[in-house]
């Protein structure tokens, strides 16, 4: 169970059910990216200088490997288009 918890924390959960609450999806992102304006460890803030469309485009590019990445390519593959849209709306609501 500890292993599963770590995977969840990294946003690498098993394929999420269609109705996974967006707060749960986003929680795995914030462990690395920080919250609000506090980008952590040199990792960029998720929505800094980005529109929702930019966010969706970035996640899709990570997912299909057209944007170079260390970890985001692997992470983005765990999310459906609907989940990426929900995350975009969620992060856009952050202060
Ligand atoms: C294991 C740490 C980690 C986790 C978890 C993580 N990210 Fe990232 N993210 C990174 C790193 C590192 C980069 C820089 C690109 C790379 O090297 O992969 C990045 C880059 C990004 C970018 C591009 C930001 C920019 O301004 O260029 C977006 C958008 C993003 N992540 C969204 C997310 C979302 C959404 C989640 C949750 C589903 C998430 N990340 C989870 C580490 C992480």
| Distance in angstroms (rounded) separating the CA atoms of residues 45 and 19 | 26
How many angstroms separate the alpha carbon of residue 65 from the centre of ligand 1?
Answer: 13
Which band of pLDDT confidence, cut at 50, 70 and 90, is reported for residue 49?
low
Query: Distance of alpha carbon 59 from its chain centroid, rounded?
Result: 8
Q: What is the pLDDT of residue 75?
A: 95
How many angstroms separate the alpha carbon of residue 1 from the centre of ligand 1?
Answer: 25
Residue closest to 12 by CA, chosen among 23, 22, 27: 27
Instruction: Kindly tell me if the per-residue pLDDT of 15 is higher than 90.
Output: no
> What's the number of CA atoms in the CB half-sphere (13 Å) around residue 10?
14
Q: Which atom of ligand 1 is nearest to the CA of 48?
A: 26
Using CB distances shorter than 6 Å, the residues near ligand 1 are 10-11, 28-29, 31-33, 43-44, 46, 48, 50, 55, 58, 69-72, 75, 79, 87
Q: What is the pLDDT of residue 86?
A: 93
Residue closest to 58 by CA, chosen among 28, 79, 37, 27: 79
Q: Which atom of ligand 1 is nearest to the CA of 31?
A: 5
| Distance in angstroms (rounded) separating the CA atoms of residues 30 and 35 | 6
Q: What is the pLDDT of residue 41?
A: 67
| Distance in angstroms (rounded) separating the CA atoms of residues 37 and 94 | 9
Q: What is the pLDDT of residue 93?
A: 72
pLDDT digits over 53-76, tens only? Answer: 999 999 999 999 999 999 999 999
């Amino acid at each position: 169970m500890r292993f599963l918890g770590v995977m969840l924390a990294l946003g690498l959960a098993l394929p999420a059910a269609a109705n996974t609450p967006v707060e749960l999806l986003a929680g795995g992102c914030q462990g690395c990216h920080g919250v609000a304006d506090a980008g952590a460890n040199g990792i960029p803030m998720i929505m800094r200088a980005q529109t929702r469309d930019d966010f969706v485009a970035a996640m899709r590019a990570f997912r299909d490997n057209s944007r170079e990445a260390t970890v985001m390519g692997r992470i983005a593959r765990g999310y459906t288009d609907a989940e990426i849209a929900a995350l975009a709306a969620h992060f856009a609501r952050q202060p």
